[in-house]
Amino acid sequence: HADAALSEAKARGRNNVRFYSPQLTAQASARLALETELRQAVDQDQLVLHFQPKFDLASGDLVGAEALMRWNHPARGMVSPVQFIPVAEETGLIVPMGAWALHQACRAAVTWNQRPAARQVKVAVNLSARQFATGQLVETVCEALSSTGCLPQWLELEITESLLIDKRSNVREDLETLAALGVTIALDDFGTGYSALSYLTHFPVHTLKIDRSFVKDLPGDRQSGELVKAIVSLGRSLNMELVAEGVETDEQSRLLAAIGCHMAQGFLLGRPVPQDQFEALLG
Ligand code: C2E
Ligand code: MG
Ligand code: MG
Ligand code: MG
pLDDT per position as a tens digit, 166-195: 777 799 999 999 999 999 999 999 999 887
Indicate which atom in ligand 1 lies nearest the CA of residue 265: 15
pLDDT per position as a tens digit, 95-149: 999 999 999 999 999 999 999 888 999 999 999 999 999 999 999 999 999 999 9
- Please answer whether residues 42 and 72 qualify as being in contact, where contact means their C-beta atoms are separated by less than 8 angstroms: no
Indicate which atom in ligand 1 lies nearest the CA of residue 248: 18
Interval between CA 126 and ligand 1 midpoint (Å): 9
pLDDT over 60 at 5, yes or no: no
Residue 168: predicted pLDDT: 73
**What average pLDDT score do residues 76-91 get?**
94
* Cα end-to-end span (Å), the chain: 66
In sign, the C-alpha dihedral spanning 114, 119, 120, 121 is negative
Q: Picking from 17-21, 99-103, 158-162, 263-267, which range would have the lowest pLDDT averaged per residue?
A: 17-21
CA distance 9 to 188: 37
Mean of the per-residue pLDDT values of the chain: 92
**Nearby residues for ligand 2 (ion, Cβ within 5 Å):** 126, 158, 188
Interval between CA 2 and ligand 2 midpoint (Å): 41
Considering only CA atoms, which residue is closest to atom 23 of ligand 1? 246
Report residue 134 CA to chain centroid gap: 19
Best residue among 83, 85, 217 to mutate for probing ligand 1, ranked by most atoms within 8 Å of CB: 85
Residue 165: predicted pLDDT: 87
- Please answer whether residues 213 and 187 qualify as being in contact, where contact means their C-beta atoms are separated by less than 8 angstroms: no
Considering only CA atoms, which residue is closest to atom 13 of ligand 1? 246
Considering only CA atoms, which residue is closest to atom 35 of ligand 1? 81
For the chain, the residue count is 283
Considering only CA atoms, which residue is closest to atom 2 of ligand 1? 126
pLDDT over 60 at 25, yes or no: yes
In sign, the C-alpha dihedral spanning 154, 280, 60, 193 is negative
